[in-house]
């Protein structure tokens, strides 16, 4: 006789039907039973994922355990065992997962256009224009060599928005009295680079209360999946459901992967967006590599 585990009559020997070698090498589309409700799904597009099927109060439910790329056979078995135990004890593992998720601490996010250009990055942009203005090769070499010698080693990798006048004074002090003419030229060249960078950077405002975290986005990131709505006569920027889920994956270290996965699952289930919507936005925001296995696993589940 077998053991009744969460509405599944199984033999202990049948709980480990799949071998690591089989899982690793299997590419033929289909659903492969791992025993005790655990299923290994291989889709025609090549995606492979784990699914746990349970029955609670006579209703069958599939629980996504994640793609093979992120969840090994041993991990899938361990998770499946915990789910079977919960069902046997009369608990709902889906509800428990949701209850275990703590809402992220509210954080005000202020999006500022641009990607924190460095002084060297602004210098390279300015140099492309300046070189066309300097017809004399010797002057071009002097213009570049003075900056490479006295400036770039000290502030080249710093965001230009963070460089204060005191730092410029410090880097000029060693040559201000010994090489006065060179120091003046270096100062002029630094000033020219700052002027050329005004439209490419933004100063961070100082806000003591409430706690504010600033995030800098490129111009394209500021508009992809973003719309403006009038609320009480005020124009407000609002991200779409798909963009919100993509941002959850981008900042999963802050909001938690559980929150990102729940948003993805509920969005697909409620048809608030399609996989194509996610692909378009995630590709633009460079998040598709992280999202792809989870999206494919949920789409293959039909949810």
> Reduced to 3 states, what is the DSSP secondary structure of residue 253?
helix
pTM, entire model: 0.35
Exposure on the CB side of residue 244, measured as CA atoms within 13 A: 16
pLDDT in tens, 240-250: 999 999 999 98
Mean pLDDT over 48-54 rounds to: 90
Q: Is residue 111 part of a domain?
A: no
DSSP conformation class of 118: B
Nearest-angstrom CA–CA distance, 184 and 34 = 75
Select from 200, 229, 244 the last residue of a domain.
Answer: 200
Residues 76 and 16 in one domain: yes
Closest among 174, 24, 162, 15 to 83, alpha carbons compared? 15
pLDDT in tens, 64-89: 888 998 999 999 899 888 888 888 88
The boundaries of the domain holding residue 217 are: 206-300
Q: Is residue 232 part of a domain?
A: yes
When divided into structural domains, the chain yields a total of 3
Nearest-angstrom CA–CA distance, 234 and 236 = 6
The two three-digit tokens of residue 133, written as one number: 């203005």
pLDDT in tens, 150-170: 999 988 888 877 888 888 888
Q: Is residue 125 part of a domain?
A: yes
Residues 8 and 76 in one domain: yes
């Amino acid at each position: 006789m077998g053991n009744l585990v969460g509405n599944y009559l199984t033999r202990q020997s049948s709980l480990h039907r799949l071998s690591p070698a089989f899982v690793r090498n299997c590419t033929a589309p289909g659903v492969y039973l791992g025993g005790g409700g655990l299923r290994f799904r291989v889709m025609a597009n090549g995606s492979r994922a784990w699914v746990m099927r349970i029955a609670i109060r006579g209703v069958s439910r599939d629980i996504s355990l994640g793609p093979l790329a992120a969840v090994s056979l041993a991990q899938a078995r361990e998770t499946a065992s915990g789910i079977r135990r919960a069902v046997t004890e009369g608990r709902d593992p889906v509800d428990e997962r949701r209850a275990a998720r703590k809402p992220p601490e509210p954080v005000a996010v202020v999006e500022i256009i641009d990607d924190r250009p460095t002084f060297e990055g602004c210098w390279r942009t300015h140099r492309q224009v300046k070189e066309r203005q300097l017809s004399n090769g010797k002057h071009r070499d002097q213009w570049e060599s003075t900056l490479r010698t006295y400036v770039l080693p000290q502030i080249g990798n710093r965001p230009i928005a963070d460089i204060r006048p005191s730092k410029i004074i410090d880097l000029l002090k060693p040559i201000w009295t010994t090489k006065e003419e060179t120091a003046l030229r270096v100062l002029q060249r630094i000033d020219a680079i700052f002027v050329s960078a005004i439209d490419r950077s933004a100063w961070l405002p100082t806000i003591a209360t409430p706690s504010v975290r600033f995030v800098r986005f490129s111009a394209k990131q500021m508009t992809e999946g973003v719309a403006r709505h009038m609320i009480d006569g005020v124009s407000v920027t609002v991200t779409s459901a798909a963009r919100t889920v993509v941002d959850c994956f981008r900042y999963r270290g802050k909001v938690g992967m559980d929150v990102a996965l729940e948003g993805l699952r509920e969005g697909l289930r409620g048809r608030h967006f399609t996989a194509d919507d996610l692909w378009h936005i995630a590709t633009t925001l460079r998040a598709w590599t992280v999202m792809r296995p989870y999206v494919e696993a949920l789409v293959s589940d039909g949810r």
